[in-house]
Each structure stands twice: as C-alpha cells, then as structure tokens.
Chain A
Amino acid sequence: MSLAEPAALPVAASAPRRLHIAGRFTARFKASLPAYLLLLPSLVFLALFTYGAMGRVIIDALYQRATPKAPLRFVGLDNIAAVLADSAFTGAVINNLIYAVGTAIPSIGLALLFALALARTNVVTSALRAALFLPVLIPMVAASALFLFIFLPNVGLLDYYIGRLLPVLPNWLGDPDIALYAIMIITIWKNAGYYMLFFLAGLQAVPEDVMEAAHLDGAGPFMRLRYIILPELKPTFLFVIVIATLNAVTQVDHVFVLTQGGPSNATNLVLFYIYQQAVEHFDVGKASAATLLTLAALMGLTALSFRTMANREGGP
C-alpha cells in the first residue's frame, strides 16, 4: 500500500471539485494497481494454502453426520458445543496449560541465564553459545527418537544412571503422573538455546553509557540487572513469551513419536486431540470445531501481546 500513497495523493489534490465517490475509488484503485499486481503471486498462494484452508475449516465445523451412512447436514454450533463438552478436550486444554507454563518459564529463565553469562563475545563464549544452540538444529522428530532411548524403562540411559540412586525405577513415558513432565523436559532442552538468541540480541541494545554511569555510581551487578538490564529487555521478554506460548500449542511432534497422547491421555495436547478427532475418529466436524477454538485462543493471545507492545512504544 505504501507504494501507492504518493501517487494517490496528487490525483485527489488535482481534482478541482469533489469527484464522484465512484470516480475517486477507480482513481485510487488505478493508482494502487501496481501494488496489487506485485502482491498477487503471494496473495494467490496465501489464498490457496492459508485463507482457503481456514475457510474450509470454518465450513467443515458447521456440518456433521448423524450416523455413518447419513449425509452431512448443517448443525450450526453443535460441533463446538460437542467439543467443549468432551472431557478429552478439556483434559487436553488443562494438559496444554500445564505444558505451556511448565515449558515457557523454565526455558525462558534458562535462556536469560545463558544470555547473561555469554553476553561478551570471546572464543569460549562463542563455543558455548554454539553448544547451547545445537538442540535447536536437531529436528524435533529426531530429538524425540533420541529421547526414546534415554527414557527407555530399566535399560535406558537415564535409568542406567539414576537407577543406581532410586529404589524403584520410574517408567518415564508409561506413568501418567510423569509422562507429561518427561515431554516437557525435551521441549525445555530444545527451546532454551533458541530463546537465548533473542536475549543475546536484546542485551546488545542495552545502552553502554547508562551501564557505565551505573557502574560509576557504584551499582553492583545485581542492581544493574534489576534496574537497567531487565527493564531494557522488556520487549524481548514479551516477544519470547508469545513465541514460547505459540510453540507450546503448535509443536507436538514429540507427542506423536513418544507417547501418542498416552498413557491414558496424560500427554494429550490440544493439537494432538484435533489430530485424533480428524484421523482416528474420522470426525471432521469436531476436529474443525476444535481447530477454530484453538485458532481463536491463539489469535486473542497474539492480539493482546501486540497491543501491549504497541502501547509500550507509544507511551512515554
């Protein structure tokens, strides 16, 4: 659109009298045509693969079959009501909340710690940064396959070492009390290094002169962290929190590989629930309804965080 603005203004200004609204519209459209043409290729693909699919989900969410052989019929919001009444869905939402909080806080905390420790660039910190970033480079499915061996009951790597200390060996992925936490450990291990990058970038933006002034005024390391570094990192925090929450909903590859949502739905997350409804129950209506609910929640969250960010930038 910005391309079109300078061209549109002279057209409107040069008109001696008030043009007809229709005329003005065509003039504007003509002026911004090149912009639309430039956008066209990506618009086509967005329409095909994003908006089209979303539209289809909305339509699918409104239809349902009463019995296997019956035709699809319009049911309005019944699918959404059915999803909300399904205890497996509420269970998945609760699991997902625990999972989101339990992975976001530790991985962000670790990421900040790593970034603070490795803020200065030298040979040692570069090597350590690379080492901490390594898990990010491993695909989630491959990482899950590795952890399958680490978590193997009785004979796995973890039990091999921890087993010497504990009287009864935990069945990491087979016990509904532990399985979700085992899954969370993988996520934290994998994401902390990624978030560290954002904090490292954020730390570069902390003004050098302010830090120096604080140093001269006798502010210790903790004071500098509390009153200068953390406030300066606020936008980074907001951004990373949004990313971490989105990851908690959209990254479920390890659930597919390690537990399939089990045992007894203990590791069933919202996205996996949608997958189950769609491909195991073959219930497209319910799957689409659950997708819509998830999308709405994610969009609300993103809008809220962007508004918070915008407010902050607009304010004093």
Chain B
Amino acid sequence: MGQGVLDVDDNNFESEILKADKPALVDFWAPWCGPCKAIGPAIKELEETYGNSIVFARCNVDNSPNTPTQYSIRAIPTLILFQDGKVVDQVVGAVPKSHLEELVKKVL
C-alpha cells in the first residue's frame, strides 16, 4: 500500500516526478473526461498494489497546460511512465487494468 494517488501540476512536476527517487506513473486527465473517470478505479487499485515501489500521480490538464504540451499529449487519458526523469513508455485511452499492470511492471 502506497501513499495514494498524488496530484501534480506544472509547478511541482519536476520535483515530484522527474527528480523522484522512484519510477512514476502519471495519469494526464481532466474532471469532465468520461474515459478518464472510468480508469480511475483501476489506477487506484494498482496504487494499492505497487504504490511502495512506484509513485502514482495524476496531472489535471486544465490546470497545468505546460506539462502536457511538453510531452506532446493530444488525448486524455494518457498515462506516461517515467524513470530517472525520462519517459519509459506510455499508453493512451481507457485501457484494461491488465494493460496498465504490464506497463507498471516495466520498471519493477
């Protein structure tokens, strides 16, 4: 069990994600996005399982325009996996939990 899903924004993205001492999975989302809501529970469940070894975070694209632009995000939800400040992999859309789990396992 980890610390819950962390909210990150343009201001703390570098310190919380890029300079984190653990790999991080960031969910780029918005409150009005149906598919984003639909995968929320799956991300929460994964956080409960893997939260000790990976930072689970989410970034609201409405409040933080710079970070999504930096990573050329054109669709939400987009989930990007970071390690040592670099992008390891990413998935787009409301994908099955098993798909997200495979992603997470790339850095375990």
Whether chains A and B associate is no
